[in-house]
Structure 1
Amino acid sequence: MDAETKDRVQVKIFVGVELKANVAILLNKSSRWKEAKVSKTTNLKKTRYQNREYIGIFLSHEASTMKMLQKISKEILEELQHFCPESDLSHLKINIFPQIFVA
């Protein structure tokens, strides 16, 4: 990879949960979620990976520790729970994977 190409490629780590139908339905019904999306007060983003949709965050840090990943995972679940207080989302499985962006 030459220097010019390397400057255009960025790898980020994504931490989040698979956006299965039941979670998507809960979020779509949530007025808190709709308000947060419109006002851009949430850091949660949707992304696709291996033909599945996920919701979570992209890490901005180059080096991630297990302790930091655990903290971020907990925060993601808490934020999703805030948007869907009537449901228990603590059982959702956290996924961590790389995403490559080319500018």
Structure 2
Amino acid sequence: MKSSLGSRVKVKLFAGFINNPDMKREMFTSDKWHMAQIAWKSQDSGLEVISFQNKEYVGKYLDSLFLSLTELRDIEDKIKKQLFFHCPKIKQFPLKFYVFPQVFVS
């Protein structure tokens, strides 16, 4: 059986913020954050914490590879609102929005 590499490769965009030590501490001590993580994992939605190029990010994988700047800004706002709802003290930390591709080979 011969399968082409193209059928085994999947590219996804991830959008989110660097999970700095202050954010990690707030998320670790937030009961709302822990409850949301349990609920999101069972529904396959919500925010995730991932590692990419030796840094940890909190955000989400996007459904599309083709997004306008307006759509990306909306996604940034939604992620921030989720973070702020579950960890209100995060509002005081500077947040820089990142979008990057990740390649998955099965």
Confirm or deny a common fold (TM above 0.5): yes
Cross-structure match for 1:76? 79
SS in structure 2 of the partner of residue 88 of structure 1: helix
SS in structure 1 of the partner of residue 4 of structure 2: helix
After TM superposition, give the deviation of residue 86 of structure 1 in Å: 3.7
Aligned pair 1:53/2:40, yes or no?
no
**Which residue of the other structure, out of 92, 95, 102, is the alignment partner of 2:95?**
92
Segment of structure 1 superposing worse, 66-75 or 34-43 = 34-43
- Contact 2:17–2:97 (8 Å) recurs in 1: yes
SS in structure 1 of the partner of residue 100 of structure 2: strand
- Contact 2:26–2:89 (8 Å) recurs in 1: no
Normalised by the size of structure 2, how large is the TM-score? 0.87
Instruction: Provide the identity percentage.
Output: 28
Counterpart of 2:77, as a letter, is K
Aligned pair 1:26/2:42, yes or no?
no
Counterpart of 2:30, as a letter, is S
For 1:80 and 1:89, the matched residues in 2 are separated by: 12
- Contact 2:11–2:104 (8 Å) recurs in 1: yes
For 2:94 and 2:62, the matched residues in 1 are separated by: 22
Counterpart of 1:88, as a letter, is K
Q: For 1:42-75, what per-residue CA distance to the aligned partner results, in whole angstroms no more than 9, with x for missing partners?
A: 5111211111010101111131111100000011
- Contact 2:50–2:56 (8 Å) recurs in 1: yes
